[in-house]
Amino acid sequence: MKGAHGRIRWVVFCGFLVFLACAWALDLKPGGLIPPDAEHWSRTGEFFKAALNPAFDYQDENVPDDADSIWLKGFKGLLLTLKFAFGAMSIAIPAALVMGFLGSSAWWPEPCGRGTQTVLSAVYFVSRFVMSFVRSIHELIWALLFLSAMGVSPLAGMVALALPFSGTLGKVFSELIDEEAREAGLALKAIGHRPIQTFLVGIFPGALPNLITYSFYRFECALRSSAVLGFVGIETIGLYIELSHEEFYYREVWTYLYLLLGLIVVVDRWGAAIRKRLHSSAEAWKV
C-alpha cells in the first residue's frame, strides 16, 4: 500500500511538472484572463448584467412585425437541436453496437485454432482503430469537412455528429461488454450452446442496462454538440446565439441560453428516471 501511494505521488508530481512545462511553452499568464482595456471591461459587464434581464422581445428594432416571437423562435431552435441530436444518435448507436461487438473478445470461441485467432485479432484491432480514428476528430472539424463537401444541409450536420459519437460509444460498449460477468455464458457453453448464442443470451443482456445508461449520457452530450453546430452555420439554437452575439444583443443571447439550459435539465431528469428504472429491473433480474 505504501508503495502504491508513493507511485501516485510521483504521477501527480510528474503531471504537475508537465502542466508547468506546457504553461511555460504557451506563455500562459494570469493576466491573460483580465480584459486589456476599459472597453472590454464594459462589454464583459454588459454581457453578465444581461443574464439578469433576458430579452422577452427582440432587441433589433428592424425585425418585421409578423416575425415569430423570440420565445417561439427559441423553441423552434430547440426543436431543430433535438432533431439533430436524435438523428445523430440514431446513426451512432447502431454503428457503435456493431463496432463494440467486433471490438470485444467476449464472443470469441474458446479454444480456437491459430487461424481463427489471427482473424479474430485482426477484426478486433481494425475495429479498435476505426473507433479511435472517428472519435479523435472533433465534431466541429467533421462538420467543416462535410459542409465543404455537401454544403449546409441537415444530413451533413447529423453525420458530423454521428461519426465521433459512434466511435466513443463503440469503445465504451466494447469495454462494458468485456467487463460483464461470464458465469452465465460459461454455463450455457457447458450445455452445448455456440459462442454467439452464449454471448447474446448470457453476456449481452447483463451489459444492456449499462449500455443504455451510457447512451443517454451521450445523448445529452449530442444536444450540446448539436447546439454548437450553429456556430458553423447549421440552423440550431446555437446559430441564433451566434447571430445575436455578433450584434451585441446580449439579452437575446441569454434568452436562448436559458432555453437551452432548460432543455438540458429536462433531458437529464428524464434520463435519470430511466436509468433508475433500468438498474432496478437489472437488480430484480439478478435476484
User: Looking at the predicted structure, is the pLDDT value of residue 275 above 90?
Assistant: no
Check: CB of residue 85 under 8 Å from CB of residue 161.
yes
User: Looking at the predicted structure, is the pLDDT value of residue 285 above 60?
Assistant: no
Q: How confident is the model at residue 106 (pLDDT cuts 50, 70, 90)?
A: confident
Q: How confident is the model at residue 107 (pLDDT cuts 50, 70, 90)?
A: confident
Residues 6+ away with beta carbon under 8 Å from 254: 50, 51, 54, 55
Q: How much is the average pLDDT of 105-114? A: 74
User: Looking at the predicted structure, is the pLDDT value of residue 193 above 90?
Assistant: no
Select from 3.40.1050.10, 2.40.110.10, 1.10.3720.10, 1.10.8.60 the CATH code of 73-286.
1.10.3720.10
pLDDT at 190: 57
Q: How much is the average pLDDT of 39-64? A: 84
Q: What is the phi-psi region of residue 233: left when phi exceeds 0, alpha when psi lies from -120 to 50, beta otherwise? A: left
pLDDT at 279: 67
The whole model's pTM is what?
0.81
pLDDT at 227: 92
Using alpha carbons, select from 99, 104, 101, 102 the residue that is nearest to residue 135: 99
Domain extent listing, the chain: 73-286
User: Looking at the predicted structure, is the pLDDT value of residue 282 above 60?
Assistant: no
CA distances to 74, 97, 100, 213 from 269, in Å: 21, 25, 27, 13
